[in-house]
Chains A and B, each alone.
Chain A
Amino acid sequence: MRSLRWNFSLRLRRSDESTVRFVRTLVVLSLLLCASNLLSQEQTQDRPKFEVDLSELQKEIDKVAAKPYSLGGFLEFQPTLLGIDRDSTFYRLKFPRRNQGSTFDQYNFRLRLEGAYKKDIFSVFFKTDTLVRNEFEGWDEDTKLFEAYASVKPSPSFILEAGKKVMKWGKGYAWNPVSFVARPKNPEDPEEALEGATVATADYIRSFDGPLKTATLTAAVVPVYPHVNAKSGELYHTNFASKLYLLAYDTDLDFMVFTGESRTTRYGFDFSKNLTTNFEIHGEFSVVNNFKSKFINETGRNFSTEREAISYLLGLRYLTEKETTYILEYYRDGTGLSRKQMTDFFSFADASYRNFVATGNKAGLVRAAKLAKGPYGNPNPMRDYLYFRVSQKEPFDVLYLTPALTAIINPNDGSFNVLPEITYSPLTNLELRLKGAILVGRSHTDFGEKQNDYRLELRLRYFFGL
């Protein structure tokens, strides 16, 4: 989980104080929202019967059509309450002393800004993300340039782009083993924007009549240097990635490759197809050559292996007549850790913690904490996962309301994460999301050893545009 990467200190508020502050914030926000919604309804009820004013529409279109630029984004406020599992491995690695409270409250303010400008065959685009956080440590701010690239389009068949951009490959909803260039997405929130990679790309697109309708070849240059994609592998190399997309027999097909000195060569394939008007299937397959896996045994001794890592994903999306959507995915991560490797890590961390408590020696604990920042601390570090999501569009005739329930299950150890949520848009450009997470698992299991037992967050987003 993302929260595992936070650098918590030992200065924590008392848990009851955190909960009270969080609940108080929720109550104030709820009252404000109810008031704004009622006001909005009162205003609309006073209006005469709605009729389309075509001349007003024409004016609006003329204004939009003449504008070569756009600027917009959203403002977000997200209070979060985190329930801590004080006996979990990841909690102990972050907070070796046990005198903390059982809950944290956290208040995130976010500004996402994006803009574009076009002239003839040229266009530019940027997207920034600024996060201001208030928690027990005080205030913190982080601004990132998510995307900034220029595009030249001599014809709709040929597009050249250079800069920082997101290249999301793959058909999976929660995971994408074939996404060789983009950063991994968060399976708990897979639709969130990601920071891009600095690349130069060329797309060549052709359309045809017949069973093969579209073919697109994408080629990308991916430099890895100290200030450019520095975390994308070995430095001082330029790498190449390519993808061939085909729409054949009403099926999306992609074939991709990544090669270079920064990372070992990897190949991928994906597909997606609508079997009926309400049933879609998709899948991904990838091979990573000479994948180096580093792990420890229960005493902390280092091991490493090199192998071909084969990953795959199979999924479906089904929509019922009552507009309930089901998404189901099975993910086999060939680069993931085995059950034994994970259990050994937990055993080593436990032993290091006991040693620290008994002797005050932090050496083992520091090493385990360092390992937790690598593959052991990934959101989904092991080899097999199931993803299930059910969402209901506009139940009880309430427009723009979508309740959903998501489960991420580790079948290797039986642990799981359940995420109920309700998304609602009471006003144009205002979106609310109340989301929870309940992590369930025995000792020495994937979700059982995460830092949190539960999480509750309310997200308010107000979109704006110029």
Chain B
Amino acid sequence: MKIALFALSVMLLFAQPALSLDGVAILKQVDKNLQPESFESYRKLINIEPNGAKREFLLYTLKKGNDKIASLFLSPASEKGRATLRLGDNMWLYIPNVGKPVRITSLQSVVGGVFNNADIMRLDYNMEYDVQNIVDEKNEYILDLKAKTTTVAYDKLKMWVDKKTVVPTKIECYAATGLLIKTLYFKERKPFDEGILRPSIIETDSPLYKGYQSILAYANVKKRIVPDEVFTLEFLAKIETIR
């Protein structure tokens, strides 16, 4: 009996770290399968209203490492030249008319609609979230993620990960109060850099925007490593020159 209790205690002692380790590994693989660590891409953001009216934004995006991402708006004409920069928890928006970058926050949205700045300038999930729990279903893992700091836009995420491809199919984003802010759906895997299959469409809806939908479509995702100096305020107005 004593041996059985001892064995059970040892199992319990090691069970949680082993689960956590798996979760971290899965989450890192999810990040790796969603996008390369450093890349350039074109993205189309589409806001669709309940009456069917839609508005489209074309963005050129550069990402480097774990904490640097910059985007330049190429269309429509009313947004052309706008640029956003994220360095870790810092975010800025450059508007050509204003002529200088201004600090923005992750919960704002530079384009309106369901996507906010944190969605458009998303860093790797494993950089911002800890795995709290994993549920092993037949064809998928369900990960409960908790924000590492209070500066992260969503306090908790619930992520459904396809076991075969190790990419998320759905992510629910929650506020600290437990309020469901939005749901992201990952669709249509396409071969991008070096033929790697990655989701090319992210759709989102929100109980806060009933009837509204936003879509982010990826194209031309290519590995590209640019100097760190590209991800600076002085360079923000000049991203077009290296596109």
Contacts and interface: CB of A to CB of B under 8 A. Distances in A.
A70 B80 contact: yes
A374 interface: no
Contacts of A465: 75-77, 80
Interface stretch (A5-13, A79-87, A186-194, A305-313): A186-194
B242 interface: yes
Interface string B197-222: 00011000000011110010101100
A194 B113 CA distance: 30
A298 interface: no
B55 A428 contact: yes
Contact of B52 (A47, A168, A429): A47
A54 B231 contact: no
Interface in A427-465: 428-431, 461, 463-465
A25 interface: no
A50 B99 contact: no
A280 B105 contact: yes
Interface string A29-59: 0000000000011001101001010100110
Contacts of B234: 159, 203, 205, 216, 218, 245
B105 A277 contact: yes
Contacts of A60: 44, 58
A61 B43 CA distance: 9
Contacts of B219: 54, 57-58, 61
B44 A52 contact: yes
Contacts of B217: 52, 54, 57
Interface in A232-290: 245, 247, 250, 252, 272-274, 276-280, 282
A319 B201 contact: no
Given A61-B220, A191-B97, A191-B98, A206 B229 contact: yes
Interface string A181-223: 0100000001111100000000101110000011010100000
A245 B51 CA distance: 47
A45 B49 CA distance: 10
A360 interface: no
Interface stretch (B5-13, B15-23, B88-96, B132-140): B88-96
Size range of the interface on B?
35 or more
A288 B241 CA distance: 37
B165 interface: no
A171 B103 CA distance: 9
A321 B208 CA distance: 11
A153 B227 CA distance: 13
B74 interface: yes
A60 B243 CA distance: 15
Contacts of A282: 103
Contacts of B89: 250, 274
Contact of A52 (B113, B150, B201, B233): B201
Nearest to A167: B99
Contact of A157 (B51, B76, B227, B241): B227
A399 B241 contact: no
25 contacts: A41-B51, A41-B53, A54-B219, A155-B229, A169-B100, A173-B102, A206-B229, A207-B227, A207-B231, A214-B87, A216-B232, A216-B233, A247-B87, A250-B90, A252-B103, A274-B90, A282-B103, A325-B108, A397-B211, A399-B49, A399-B55, A429-B78, A463-B78, A464-B77, A465-B77
Given A40-B53, A153-B241, A279-B105, 5 more contacts: A205-B232, A213-B87, A216-B234, A274-B105, A464-B77
3 nearest CB pairs, A to B: A207-B228, A465-B77, A463-B78
